[in-house]
């Protein structure tokens, strides 16, 4: 079910969203979900993902919003800054940032188990933290002043289930996501009164993406479909969620058949460990 986010606001410009890691998986599903709601999306990903980005651009043409592929590397501040400038030049403003870009633990999968933290290459640890945690900070650091200047905006950070954060073998992925969860709470407090909200959205379990190795879950039908992320995200960026901040929402618990207030109450909880 699509949410007409801009309904009743014909005089307002269309909302513009940046989704990082948008070429595949959760990012692709969220980007297309926003396009379907009539939102213009700047889909950020690495140049080597260009074929996937262009494929999604083709798929988006019949959905309602604009889908604009942008090459950006969240590990590099200058790359992020240049990409955001390009979005502003194209659309004139920004309303939404979805921090989704991330890498998983495939590089440290040994047989059917992940390496223990003391077995891992320090370079892998640094690379994962730099993408999954520092990358979200870089993007938020660049985008937030534009949102504050407009007096409104949404930042949505994709973290993970609490159990994954502390699961054996999930270091540094778990610590990076836990750090982003804590950052969400801090950013929400620091942006109180600005009109900019900061929330967490998680699938609610392993999702059918490349981050979940086939060696770990061979029955892919048991995994959460990436498209599950779209309905709660569309609500979070809509006027109905104005003032909702510092919370986490579990996509698999979102029931789109319910009035959105009820769906949000059932799927939501305070972010962090309150």
67 assigned to active site: no
Between residues 12 and 57, which one has the greater pLDDT?
A: 57
Whole-number Å distance between alpha carbons of 266 and 250 = 9
Q: What is the pLDDT of residues 58-70, one digit of tens each?
A: 888 878 778 999 9
* Average pLDDT of the segment spanning 151-156: 98
Between residues 58 and 71, which one has the greater pLDDT?
A: 71
For residues 118-149, one letter each, b for 16 or more C-beta atoms within 10 angstroms of the residue's C-beta and e for the rest, the string is eebeeeebeebbbbbbbbbbbbbebbbebbee
**16-270: CATH topology:** Rossmann fold (3.40.50)
Tokens of 118: 């003391």
24 in Cβ contact with 256 (< 8 Å): no
Which of the four pLDDT bands, split at 50, 70 and 90, describes residue 111? Answer: low
**Percentage of the chain surpassing pLDDT 90?**
74
Whole-number Å distance between alpha carbons of 75 and 103 = 12
List 67, 77, 118, 173, catalytic entry: 173
Tokens of 220: 């892919």
Whole-number Å distance between alpha carbons of 244 and 237 = 10
Whole-number Å distance between alpha carbons of 91 and 7 = 19
Any idea where the domains of the chain sit in the sequence? 16-270
Q: What is the pLDDT of residues 196-245, one digit of tens each?
A: 999 999 998 665 566 655 555 556 566 778 899 999 999 999 999 999 99
pLDDT at 187 > cutoff 70: yes
Q: If you average pLDDT over every residue of the chain, what do you get?
A: 89
pLDDT at 27 > cutoff 90: yes
């Amino acid at each position: 079910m699509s949410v007409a986010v801009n309904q009743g606001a014909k005089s307002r410009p269309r909302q513009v969203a940046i989704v990082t890691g948008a070429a595949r998986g959760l990012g692709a599903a969220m980007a297309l979900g926003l396009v379907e709601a009539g939102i213009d999306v700047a889909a950020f990903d690495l140049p080597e993902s260009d074929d996937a980005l262009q494929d999604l651009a083709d798929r988006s043409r019949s959905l309602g919003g604009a889908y604009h592929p942008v090459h950006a590397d969240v590990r590099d501040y200058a790359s992020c800054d240049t990409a955001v400038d390009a979005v502003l030049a194209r659309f004139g403003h920004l309303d939404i940032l979805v921090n989704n870009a991330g890498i998983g633990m495939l590089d440290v999968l040994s047989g059917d188990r992940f390496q223990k933290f003391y077995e891992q290459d320090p370079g892998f640890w640094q690379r994962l933290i730099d993408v999954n945690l520092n990358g979200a900070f870089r993007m938020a650091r660049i985008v937030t002043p534009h949102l504050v200047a407009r007096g409104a905006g949404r930042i949505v950070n994709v973290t993970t289930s609490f159990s994954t954060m502390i699961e054996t073998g999930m270091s540094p992925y778990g610590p990076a996501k836990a750090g982003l969860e804590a950052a969400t709470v801090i950013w929400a407090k620091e942006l109180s009164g600005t009109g900019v909200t900061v929330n967490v959205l998680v699938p609610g379990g392993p999702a059918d993406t490349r981050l979940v190795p086939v060696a770990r879950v061979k029955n892919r039908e048991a995994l959460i479909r990436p498209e599950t992320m779209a309905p709660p995200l569309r609500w979070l960026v809509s006027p109905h969620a104005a003032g909702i901040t510092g919370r986490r929402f579990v996509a698999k618990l979102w029931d789109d058949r319910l009035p959105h207030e009820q769906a949000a109450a059932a799927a939501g909880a305070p972010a962090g460990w309150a």
